[in-house]
Amino acid sequence: MPLTHSQPLESLMLRILILAAAALPLMLALSGCGGGPRITRTAADQEVDLSGNWNSTDSRQVANAMIADVMTRPWHTQFRSENNRNPRVQVHNVVVRGTGDYIDTQIFTNDIVREFINSGLVDAYSASSEREDTREVLADQDRHASADTRQEAFAETGTDFILRGTILTQDDQSGRTRHRYYSVDLNLTHIQTQRIVWQGNHRISKVVQRRR
């Protein structure tokens, strides 16, 4: 004959199991929220500035503003009237100088090339260092491709102008307030004469307030 005092114990254990099962989803949700970062997808062209450092928004806006400026200057109209074609511009690497954060200038030069191409007013070419890949392909075709399909070497198109410049950075901080300053200088030089036909500047100033 079973002991009667075990019945209350069994009832208590059953209630504990039911409560634990009901609380399990909440515990899993809380552990998931606290265990990892919260990620929110944004549009690629949406302005996002978390630290005040140079970012993709700065790169895109500066490239857009400076190429819009260079294309409205007299050098372009003069070249078109004298040569009856678009000027050929080679975009070189931009040098970063100063103190502060790391800047990936490849993103910036890509934005510049894109703005040139999309304008339809310039034939844009990449820097000499970036042409090595296609030159290697040409050399490989010269050795392995059939004569009627290989591309001719020594047939590159020469450029008329070179675009180059610098990004000067400055970082100043007092207490919880930080000032980030960027000065972007670009110049367009005629390769044959070395004459600078355009020089542009765009500045960015950011004040970052840190919370206590």
pLDDT in tens, 30-44: 555 555 677 666 665
Q: How far apart are CA 60 and CA 44, in angstroms?
A: 11
Q: Closest Cα partner for 204 from 107, 81, 66, 75?
A: 66
pLDDT at position 124 is: 93
Q: How many helices (H) and strands (E) does the chain have?
A: 5, 5
User: For residue 22, is it left (φ>0), alpha (ψ between -120 and 50) or beta?
Assistant: alpha
pLDDT category of residue 1 using cuts at 50, 70 and 90: very low
Domain ranges for the chain: 56-129+157-209
Q: Closest Cα partner for 40 from 48, 31, 32?
A: 48
pLDDT at position 45 is: 60
pLDDT category of residue 149 using cuts at 50, 70 and 90: confident
Torsions phi, psi for 36 (to 5 deg): -145, 170
Q: pLDDT: is 51 or 1 the higher one?
A: 51
What mean pLDDT do residues 114-135 have?
Answer: 84
pLDDT at position 76 is: 97
Cβ–Cβ < 8 Å for 105, 163? no
pLDDT at position 198 is: 98
CATH, domain range 56-129+157-209:
3.40.50.10610
pTM of this structure? 0.72
Helices 105-119 and 56-70 cross at an angle (nearest 10°) of 40
